Amino acid sequence: MRTQIWDTDPDAKPKPRQTFSDDLAFRFRAGRMLNDRPVTLAHWRVTTGDPEVADAIAQLMGGKPEEWETSKEDFLEVLTTSESVKVVINGVKDIDSRFVLWGRSGGPIHECDGVNFLSPEEDAGTPCGCPALLADRKAQSRSGRGPSPQTKITFRLAEDYHLGKGQLTSTSWELVKVLHEIDDALDSVSGEALCSLTLELVEFTTSSGQAVSFRKPVIKVLKAYNEAIADDPHTDES
């Protein structure tokens, strides 16, 4: 015989542990939808489908877990109070960057590395036809006629390594501009690298006098993770 307390109070029933289909424990996000409009945030927003992960994120980065409206498995969000966090990146293989133009049906209609197509399979490796100059690429993207950057960074939290892998998906052109520098820095480190992942405020005034401000993700490679562990006598990986 089983107890039937959830039959009378189904809303109180604990939700089962959930993970993403791609084995990610959580996702970092730099914005959210508010009144059907995208809004950028000053602090990291983290989503997950696991209540234990959400609690751990809140303890580490501030904020509190709350449910948000989504059809995907990461139904919990934490609006953290942290704009920067230490992460562990396992080499350049944990950073995937490409250019994607999405169709109305939600799938990509153009996917390339900036020079050659990546998909569909029959076109992979052939010239994609994107402009050579960065300014022209951005102009086509803004007009909806060309692809935009899509950079996926997979990482672990340095202060809670065994919480699982997380991922940030960014459409930032500013990040794309410096990816080669990040790759070089990661290649110079043996094994996993301790990095900082920061939402950095950018402010400037255009030639026409318009004030512009936005947040961009910034990755700084600090040192080898093993070296960081050796430097910190309080670190416990067990």
pLDDT digits (tens, 9 = 90+) for 34-54: 877 888 899 999 999 999 999
> Comparing C-alpha atoms, which of 46, 82, 83, 41 is closest to residue 213?
41
Residue 82: helix, strand or coil by DSSP? coil
Q: What does 154-207 look like in DSSP terms, one character per residue?
A: EEEETTBGGG--EEEEE--HHHHHTHHHHHHHHHTSSSSEEEEEEEEEEEEE-T
Q: 130-137 contacts: CB < 8 A, separation 24 or more?
A: 130/99, 134/173, 134/177, 137/99
CA 73 to chain centre: 16
pLDDT class of 107 with cuts at 50, 70, 90:
confident
For residue 16, the model assigns a pLDDT of 46
Q: How confident is the model at residue 202 (pLDDT cuts 50, 70, 90)?
A: confident
Residue 219: Cβ within 10 Å count: 24
Q: Which residue has the higher pLDDT, 166 or 31?
A: 166
Q: Tell whether the model's pLDDT for residue 159 goes beyond 50.
A: yes
Say what the pLDDT of residue 234 is.
54
- Residue identified by tokens 């086509």 is 140
* Residue listed under structure tokens 């070089």: 184
Rounded Cα–Cα distance for residues 85 and 61 (Å): 8
The pLDDT assigned to 18 comes to 43
What are the DSSP E strand ranges found in 49-120?
Answer: 65-67, 76-79, 84-89, 95-102, 108-112, 117-119
Element (H, E) at 135: helix 134-143
Model-wide pTM > 0.85: no
Q: Does residue 86 or residue 206 have the better pLDDT?
A: 86
Q: What is the mean pLDDT of residues 96-124?
A: 92
Q: How far apart are the first and last CA of the chain?
A: 39
- CA torsion sign, 201 to 148 to 141 to 136? positive
- The string of pLDDT tens digits covering residues 83-92 is 999 999 999 9
Backbone angles phi, psi at 48, to 5 degrees: -160, 165
Q: Which bin fits 143, alpha (ψ -120 to 50), beta or left (φ > 0)?
A: alpha
* Residue 57 predicted with pLDDT over 80: yes
Is 86 in contact with 195 (CB distance < 8 Å)?
A: yes
What is the mean predicted confidence (pLDDT) over 69-76?
A: 90
In this predicted model, what pLDDT tens digit does every residue of 12-30 receive, in sequence order? Answer: 544 444 444 468 999 999 9
